[in-house]
A and B are shown apart, each in its own frame.
Chain A
Amino acid sequence: MAAAGPMTGSQRRYPVVSARSLTKRYGRVTAVEDLTFSLNSGTVTGFLGPNGAGKSTTLRLLLGLAQPTAGDALVFGRRYRDLEEPMTKVGAVLESNDFHPGRSGRDHLRTLALAAGIPWPRVEEVLEFVQLAKAADRRVGTYSLGMRQRLGLAGALLGDPELLILDEPANGLDPAGVHWLRTFMRRFADRGETVLIASHVLAEVAQTADRVLIILGGRLVAAGALDELAGRSGTLENAYLELTATEAS
């Protein structure tokens, strides 16, 4: 499963995601420090680290929601905000509840589609795909956590992106939902697209990812193929615990 996926149509000269000496400080607190990594297409990369390690900050820097203090955070060789039609390149879900509780799921997606210039029939397609078509007219306030996760994913998929960035996407999903998500991500990557998934659920990542990035205290402590990393210590969990313990002491 760790084999690199096929290249997409256009031969790229740049990685799908790249962080170069990426640093973010909030006052005296350094959230991300001198982070350098890159992701190629056709892979699912697990982004691991304890709470507060800088995973979410890194994702926000990649998506242009936060400005780096130093270094670059690039997607498809450019800053997110310089992409022409960002939702057709990158789809992202950062929080599980970024919805107005009084707005219907369908209207939530329609506002995004309008802003991004995506035709409305696509809204019905993604609703069908995440199995929310029947609940689409209900207010999001009545949705379960799992339904919200799927609505968030529907929003990320609106533009049929080449890169998916997901922060704890399995949170709140039932076992069938987790299985569905895993199958979806695998197929997405096998089509040549790219997934970056931040998680602290190691078992989830171990079953889905080809590659792993581990950060601790804002610094990259390991990067590589899942097999290699897990191979050294037996399992991903052992490798993770060793790496995060070494650095912490």
Chain B
Amino acid sequence: MTAQLRAELLKQRSTRTTLWLFSAMLGLVVLAILLHGFGLSAGILGRRSSQLAVLGQGQRLGTLFAALLGAVSITVEFRHGTIRPTFLATPRRGRVVAAKVGVSMLIGIAFGLMATAIAAVVGSTSLAARGLAIRLDAGDYALLLAGSAAGAGLWAAIGVGLGAVVRNQVPAVVGICTWLLFVEGLLFGDIGLSNVGRFLPGSLARAATGQDPLMLLAPSLAVPLLALYAAAAAAAGWAATTRRDVA
């Protein structure tokens, strides 16, 4: 199993995909924070909940890109055919899926931490530049970072599972983007199904950072629930990969 983990780590390091995803994520975090930090009125931005929500943009983007990284880690092998040599080297395919889950979670955690760290730095600088008092304490920052790391790490596993089931890169990537950016928002906000919406995996990742305690679950409940989603997705990916033929 160590052998497969090391192989998967080298796969991640030896193409530019990871770096590209990481750069795109950081660029979008900076853009999102600056737009909120300078676009919103001083009255709104003065509130603690607003400041938390703005810095939470880091978590949203960290989660999204971690999920994409996880999905691409397996769909790219089907796309370029490297899945054949991969399975010839490791015919016990469950190990390949497990190693991809492990490595993607590790990088996902790093994505979540970095996205929120950059969001915190840019966000607090923006507030200071506008002369607004920062109403977040060390505990808030710690929860933002820890929750973002947990959410992104677990979503990376969901990405691997989904990618292993779908196999095709474009539908997997489009599926993740539409789910996180559109579908959950639709269920949660627009038609007000918050009783259902807060149990969905995107909301759970957001809840992990301590956002919106009236609508979302507490982090201590959200993280274990999200872990269940991740375990289910990884198990589905494992089952699909071990059972289905490779052309």
Contact = CB atoms under 8 A, between A and B. Distances in A.
Interface in B70-104: 76, 80-82, 84-92
Interface size class of B (residues with CB under 8 A): 20 to 34
A100 B17 CA distance: 11
Interface in B138-158: none
A86 B88 contact: yes
A81 B17 contact: no
Given A65-B246, A67-B245, A81-B92, A97 B81 contact: yes
A231 interface: no
A87 B80 contact: no
Contact of A81 (B3, B10, B82, B91): B91
Contacts of B6: 114
B3 A116 contact: yes
Contacts of A107: 10, 14
Contacts of B92: 81
A80 interface: yes
B94 to A, nearest CB: 11
Nearest to A95: B81
B10 A111 contact: yes
A245 interface: no
B198 to A, nearest CB: 39
A132 to B, nearest CB: 16
A98 B4 CA distance: 19
B11 interface: yes
A201 interface: no
Interface string B1-28: 0011011001100111100000000000
Contacts of B85: 98, 112, 155
A67 B3 CA distance: 25
Contacts of A101: 80
A102 B15 CA distance: 6
A86 B14 contact: no
A87 B82 contact: no
A110 B81 contact: no
Nearest to B11: A111
Interface in A52-79: 60, 63-67
A100 B3 contact: no
Nearest to B96: A115
A83 B92 CA distance: 10
Contacts of A90: 88
A64 B241 CA distance: 13
A184 B246 CA distance: 29
A86 B86 CA distance: 12
Contacts of A97: 80-81
Nearest to B95: A115
Interface centre among B4, B17, B246 (most CB of A within 10 A): B246
Nearest to B83: A98
A2 B14 CA distance: 45
Given A99-B81, A103-B15, A114 B3 contact: yes
Contact of B89 (A60, A66, A116): A116
Contact of B15 (A67, A95, A100, A110): A100
B84 A80 contact: no
A80 B90 CA distance: 10
Interface string A86-122: 1100101011011111111001101110111100000
A86 B89 contact: yes
B72 to A, nearest CB: 11
Interface in B106-136: none
A174 to B, nearest CB: 23
A66 B245 contact: yes
A64 B87 CA distance: 9
Interface in B184-214: none
A86 B87 CA distance: 10
Given A95-B81, A98-B81, A116-B3, A86 B91 contact: yes
Given A60-B245, A66-B246, A115 B80 contact: no
A112 B76 CA distance: 16
Given A65-B84, A67-B245, A95-B84, 5 more contacts: A92-B88, A97-B81, A102-B15, A112-B7, A155-B85
24 contacts: A64-B91, A65-B245, A83-B91, A87-B88, A92-B88, A95-B81, A95-B84, A100-B15, A100-B76, A102-B15, A102-B17, A103-B11, A103-B14, A107-B10, A110-B14, A111-B10, A111-B14, A112-B7, A112-B85, A112-B86, A114-B7, A115-B90, A117-B3, A155-B85
